[in-house]
Amino acid sequence: SYCISAHSMIAKGAGISPADILAARAGTLTGGRNGAIVALAKAIVEKKGHVAAADIKAAKTGGLSEADILEVTAHVVKNIFTNYANHVADTDVDFPKVDLKLTA
């Protein structure tokens, strides 16, 4: 709850539309660079890092460079780590709490 609530608030502050925030959380955001980032991040998580050549090709077609692909990978790993740490610590959510039912 902590990370998704924090990231949703930050996204809103960055001017991302509520519809795009919901789509990104659900892994369904498509089109453009942000859609390519979401698709790659989703593939990394679902495939536990064993992404296919087609996933990398799609990311590049969506405008991501090799450096961007590595950065997305690093963010996925960091977010897994911080989510697990927050679960273990039972961190209080000090952001507007996101309804997780709207995420799935």
Q: What is the CATH number of the domain that holds 62?
A: 1.20.1290
**Distance, CA of 86 to CA of 4 (rounded, Å):** 11
Task: Give pTM, 2 decimals.
Answer: 0.83
Q: In the chain, pLDDT over 90 holds for what percent of residues?
A: 68
How many structural domains comprise the chain?
Answer: 1
Q: Please say whether the beta carbons of 103 and 4 come within 8 A.
A: yes
> Residue 102 — very low, low, confident or very high, per pLDDT cuts 50/70/90?
low
Q: Please say whether the beta carbons of 93 and 87 come within 8 A.
A: no
Q: In the chain, pLDDT over 70 holds for what percent of residues?
A: 96
Check whether 45 has a pLDDT greater than 90: yes
**Distance, CA of 92 to CA of 44 (rounded, Å):** 28
Higher pLDDT pick, 1 / 103: 1
Give the start-end residues of each E strand in the chain.
Answer: none
Instruction: Name the residue range of residue 15's domain.
Output: 2-102
> Residue 39 — very low, low, confident or very high, per pLDDT cuts 50/70/90?
very high
Chain-centroid distance of CA 62 in Å reads 16
The residue type of 27 is G
